Structure 1
Amino acid sequence: MATQSDALRELFVTGLINAHAVEKQALSTMTPQVERIENYPEVADRLRLHIEETNGQIARLDELLEGLGTSSSTLKDIGLSMTGGMAAITHSVAGDEIVKNSFANYAFEHFEIAAYKSLLVMAEDGGFTQATPLLKLSLREEQDMAQWIDDSLPLVTRRYAALYAEGGSSAAKV
């Protein structure tokens, strides 16, 4: 029978592995988006910055998993990366790709925020204090990105509408 401590460790490790896979999914979603953006340079710049942050988050998760004597799940990483890539492809055929990407990215950032908040609770309850600063840094980056998307959505929407009015959906795409 597992002890409370063993159960918390198992849950924490599973949460870290899942967060690692989610960050891989984020990369597979953002990378194709940034490559297609033409009319929204501030969005492309912010996505590039967040891609760098996401790579740092993955490195921090790798460090935490290694410290717990384990590693990420290649199967989960690949599976979620594929779904992220499929989402990016799906949005690329939409006339309002930039707007749909903004919606999806906003929702995804909040999913990641919830995941890091949950991991912080498990770290605190399980006594994994070495993880707290790293998880808080990742949480702050996700919160900053979500806030940036929230703040920029009016600009993106207005620019999309203006480009659409000038030349139809193909001109407004990205």
Structure 2
Amino acid sequence: MAAKTLQDLFIHMLSDIYSAEKQLTKALPKLARAATNPKLSEAFRNHLDETEGQIERIDEIVETGGLKLKRMKCAAMEGLVEEGKEVIDEIEKGPVLDAALIAAAQKVEHYEIASYGTLCTFAKQLNLTDALRLLKETLAEEKSTDEKLSVLAETQSNQEAAAVKSTATAATPNAKAAAR
């Protein structure tokens, strides 16, 4: 990345998050299928719709601002998507997988919140008022999704996962003491 100006950096970061959102549109259906909790599966499907709208907002920013995005692949999202795949491959379907899926999804949300927050700051500095309005809308959606995932985890998924007894824990009477 050879950014020489804040405008260059803004375009680079917008290109990066555009790639991230595109990757996410491919990952979310897989997460929805892997989830056993119907509310979690629905949350992933709803976020797919939001993500498609977020891509449209980036397209609008590009069009109205006369910007040209760089062709690139967001390495951070690539890694987060890969983590999600590993979770699906390594954990048996059920409450523990659902808890792991929420954790993986929240990592994605936190990355997006950081990216959109930074883009909002840059847009404000660059006096890109239309872009700022659209980016703030997306940032609010990302924060809302993160909050919904937290509520789902705290009120249902994590409790269900905690009720699953490990064969190693069940076999060892002092496992709880050893874990402390």
The alpha-carbon distance between structure 1 residues 71 and 34, as it changes in their structure 2 partners (threshold 3 A), is farther
1:116 counterpart residue number: 116
> What stretches of structure 1 move > 6 A for 4+ residues in a row?
none
Bigger radius of gyration among the two: 2
**Greater CA drift, 82-91 or 111-120:** 82-91
2:101 counterpart residue number: 101
Shift of 1:84: 5.3
Contact 2:19 2:73 survives alignment (8 Å): yes
CA distance in structure 2 between the aligned counterparts of 1:73 and 1:34, rounded to whole angstroms: 30
Corresponding letter in the other structure for 1:137? E
Structure 1 stretches lacking a partner, 5+ long = 1-5, 166-174
CA distance in structure 1 between the aligned counterparts of 2:67 and 2:73, rounded to whole angstroms: 14
- CA deviations 1:7-32 (Å, max 9, x no partner) are 12111111111111121232233220
- CA deviations 1:75-119 (Å, max 9, x no partner) are 426x67754553332111222322221111112111111111101
The alpha-carbon distance between structure 1 residues 97 and 73, as it changes in their structure 2 partners (threshold 3 A), is farther
Aligned partner of residue 127 in structure 1, secondary structure: coil
The count of aligned residue pairs is 158
Structure 2 stretches lacking a partner, 5+ long = 166-180
TM-score, normalised to structure 1, is 0.79
Aligned partner of residue 151 in structure 1, secondary structure: helix
Aligned partner of residue 114 in structure 2, secondary structure: helix
Aligned partner of residue 57 in structure 1, secondary structure: helix
Question: Is residue 86 from structure 1 mapped to residue 86 from structure 2 by the alignment?
Answer: no
Q: Identity over the aligned pairs, expressed in percent?
A: 25
After superposition, the CA RMSD in angstroms is 2.3
1:48 counterpart residue number: 45
